[in-house]
Amino acid sequence: MRDDREKWARRRLRFVGGIFAIVFAITAGKACYLQVYKREFLAKEAERQHQRVVQLTPARGTIYDRNHAELAVSIEMDSCYADPRSIENLDETVAKLAPVIGMDREGLKKKLQGSKNFVWLQRRIAPEQTARIKELELAGIAFVKETKRFYPNSETASHVIGFTGMDPEGLEGIERKYDTTILGTAGYLVTERDALGRDISLKGNLVKGASNGHNIILTIDRNIQHIAERELAKVVSESQAKGGVALVMEPATGKVLAMANYPAFNPNAFQKYATQQLRNRAISDSYEPGSTFKVFLVAAALEERVIRAGDSFNCEMGSYHVGDRTIHDTHSYGQLSVADILKYSSNIGAAKIGSQLGADRLHGYLKTFGFGDRSAIDLPGEASGNLRNRNQWYGVDLATISFGQGVTATALQVTTAVSAIANGGDLMKPYLVDKITDDQGGVIRQIAPQVRAKVVSTATAQAVAKMMEGVTIQGGTGMNAAIDGYRVAGKTGTSQKVDPLTRTYSVDKRVASFVGFVPVQNPKMTILVLVDEPKTSPYGGVVAAPAFRAIAEQSLRYLNVPFEVTSKDRPKVIEVKAPVPKVVAEELVADGGEVAVEGTMRMPDFRRFSMRQVLQTMEKQGVNVRIIGSGRVIEQNPPPGKMITPADQVWVKLLPSA
């Protein structure tokens, strides 16, 4: 019996011991699981239960121009908050604080009566307002540092840089395109809670400090940007135009040195502007490029060897029938060489070259030049333009597209395509961001130039560049783009706008443009100036070319680009006072120079006049006029009968009779 009791006791001990061992193992396993595997999760849960986190505005990296001038910065500003449970006298606090922060008393009182121990009152306020609030010495009212986006150059490059919202999230431009790159890490303000989850105190410090995002260094040159914006604003104002665009590109690389829109806006107060004014029209708006397209037509025809530089075409004295349409030139021409078709911008000559090239090849080259496709520039909102599929070309389309009608492009596409002529035939990808750096200045990413396509051979590009130079010398449509000391290649453009109501070409709305590069031998800049709906003259050579010259001249001087030619190689400008003595008139006719005369009156009708007749009229009427070229008058500005003053651009252009 005794042995049985001992055996039973040992069994019970072993059973109880086993139970304890199992319980211990389970407990140890659970403890290990909680302390090792769930440690991070539970720590966060505990923190969440005992702390309230208030997220602060993250700091954004700086945007610089290519010379490291600041274009967009994040500045520290005070944000005002309240700890309602620490307020000693609510009515007194409301009475003193409401007028300073611009809130009505009832609204502020309601805000401060809540159960929370943290309430935002005003975020990112001016230093003088901070000082006024601090002078009140109110219990429960405190400040924390947050960042605000600031654009120190106001309107300069505003359409490129863009702007941010309050978050601060990038809403337009580089700010939007590179938002995740520029945006830093947010800081946090923390409040403590008791075991029941009630707010009990405010620490007033950051548990995690805000860190800056990465910096962006642009290809934009602030000085060239300022020149382009100033001259664009001037030409739009003087021509009473609706708006305009100016682009400056480095043709060898595709770097955009300036991208100007007028009217501009101040990104520090973008809310005050209409949405239309915030749009970057250099990349988002398409227009019919007009005669600037003749450059690409001639390049394609030369490359395909369907024409030679020395060929000539009969330009039908200004009127030519294609199918059921009649194509006109601004002036009557007979035989013109390929170079003169560009120089005098003959639509008929272009149509005949297009006919020899053919629709298939023309369409293929225009696609290779980048038309009809986005360039993939590093900005949001780029348009592709409209180059219809080859199978949608009918009737007269080949002829009209040859001189830039019936096709649309952006200002950026035209500038990039002309840059391919300037650099020897390479279509470059245009870009605005040169490099990305960290907050210590270390380079994270360097962007390199990228060739998109080889559009024409170097020989063809050089031949076309030489022809484009003829546009800016005596007798060419782009004479107003000529610059003393430099060889300039360019092309004028004048295109009709489509009336959105009638869906036909407008009678009086035009786009005047000029695009070119300088110096011809080793181009540093491709520049396009586009003027939308000018009132004084519809011609690109009259309106846009002078702005091109002003931008190029100042930028060349700023970049210290040496002269190519001496001033004696440029056409002369001779100043005289009306009336013009007969002997002086005879000398000027023989010299073939340009004449500028002082005076104010109604503009005479000089059309078809010889130079001698123009000078005789100047002598009789004392009109202030500039004579360009020799032969007979083919164009004048302003038109006959318009009142003119000494400040007006008054000129007549003459060409030898055909």
- Among 595, 494, 594, residue whose Cα is nearest residue 545: 494
| Mean pLDDT value across residues 299-326 | 91
Q: Measured between alpha carbons, how far is 230 from 528 in angstroms, rounded to an integer?
A: 14
Q: Among 39-48, 363-372, 391-400, 439-448, where is mean pLDDT lowest?
A: 39-48
List Cα–Cα distances, 426 to 371, 417, 429, 430, 450, in angstroms: 15, 9, 10, 12, 10
Q: Measured between alpha carbons, how far is 114 from 14 in angstroms, rounded to an integer?
A: 63
- How high is the pLDDT of residue 611? 77
Q: How sure is the predictor about 115, in pLDDT bands with cuts at 50, 70 and 90?
A: low
Q: How sure is the predictor about 480, in pLDDT bands with cuts at 50, 70 and 90?
A: very high
* C-alpha 565: how far from chain center: 32
Residue 67: how many other CB atoms lie within 10 Å: 11
Q: Measured between alpha carbons, how far is 289 from 481 in angstroms, rounded to an integer?
A: 18
Q: Which amino acid is at 297?
A: L
- pLDDT > 80? residue 43: no
Active-site choice (239, 291, 495, 630): 291
Q: Which of the given ranges, 73-82, 407-416, 645-654, has the highest pLDDT on average?
A: 407-416
- pLDDT > 60? residue 569: no
- How high is the pLDDT of residue 513? 95
- pLDDT > 90? residue 139: no
- pLDDT > 80? residue 586: no
Q: How sure is the predictor about 49, in pLDDT bands with cuts at 50, 70 and 90?
A: very low
Q: Among 29-43, 51-65, 398-412, 631-645, where is mean pLDDT lowest?
A: 29-43
Q: How sure is the predictor about 126, in pLDDT bands with cuts at 50, 70 and 90?
A: confident
- How high is the pLDDT of residue 83? 84
pTM of the predicted protein model: 0.76
Cα-flanking dihedrals φ and ψ of residue 179, to 5°?
-55, -50
Q: Measured between alpha carbons, how far is 605 from 510 in angstroms, rounded to an integer?
A: 23
| Mean pLDDT value across residues 238-250 | 96
Concerning whether 291 is annotated as a catalytic residue, the answer is yes
- How high is the pLDDT of residue 75? 85
- pLDDT > 60? residue 573: no
The residue with tokens 């707010």 is 199
- pLDDT > 70? residue 264: yes
Name the more confident of 593 and 500.
500
Q: Which amino acid is at 284?
A: S
Name the more confident of 381 and 117.
381
- Among 360, 358, 350, 288, residue whose Cα is nearest residue 320: 350
- How high is the pLDDT of residue 219? 98
Contact, 58 vs 165, CB < 8 A?
Answer: no
- How do residues 510-519 score in pLDDT, each as one tens digit? 999 999 999 9
Strand 594-598 and strand 573-577: the pairing is parallel
Strand 63-64 and strand 215-218: the pairing is parallel
- pLDDT > 80? residue 121: yes
Q: Measured between alpha carbons, how far is 227 from 554 in angstroms, rounded to an integer?
A: 7
- How high is the pLDDT of residue 597? 42
Q: Which residues, 6 or more positions from 630, have their beta carbon under 8 angstroms from its beta carbon? A: 589, 592, 611, 654, 656
Looking at every residue in the chain, the average pLDDT score rounds to 84
Q: Among 31-40, 49-58, 440-449, where is mean pLDDT lowest?
A: 49-58
Q: How sure is the predictor about 576, in pLDDT bands with cuts at 50, 70 and 90?
A: very low
- pLDDT > 70? residue 575: no
Name the more confident of 517 and 41.
517
- How high is the pLDDT of residue 572? 40
- Among 170, 218, 206, residue whose Cα is nearest residue 436: 218
Q: Among 45-54, 429-438, 503-512, where is mean pLDDT lowest?
A: 45-54
- How high is the pLDDT of residue 543? 94
- pLDDT > 70? residue 599: no
- Among 274, 273, 243, residue whose Cα is nearest residue 260: 243
- How high is the pLDDT of residue 21? 75
Q: Among 153-157, 256-260, 482-486, 572-576, where is mean pLDDT lowest?
A: 572-576
Q: How sure is the predictor about 38, in pLDDT bands with cuts at 50, 70 and 90?
A: low
Name the more confident of 147 and 297.
297
- pLDDT > 70? residue 470: yes
Q: Measured between alpha carbons, how far is 542 from 354 in angstroms, rounded to an integer?
A: 27
**% of the chain beyond a pLDDT of 90:** 52
Q: Among 15-19, 120-124, 344-348, where is mean pLDDT lowest?
A: 15-19
Contact, 498 vs 518, CB < 8 A?
Answer: no
**% of the chain beyond a pLDDT of 70:** 83
Q: Measured between alpha carbons, how far is 602 from 600 in angstroms, rounded to an integer?
A: 7
- How high is the pLDDT of residue 590? 39
Local structure of residue 34 (DSSP, 8 states) = I
- pLDDT > 60? residue 567: no
Q: Which residues, 6 or more positions from 18, have their beta carbon under 8 angstroms from its beta carbon? A: none
- Among 359, 230, 370, residue whose Cα is nearest residue 289: 370
- How high is the pLDDT of residue 34? 62
| Mean pLDDT value across residues 481-504 | 88
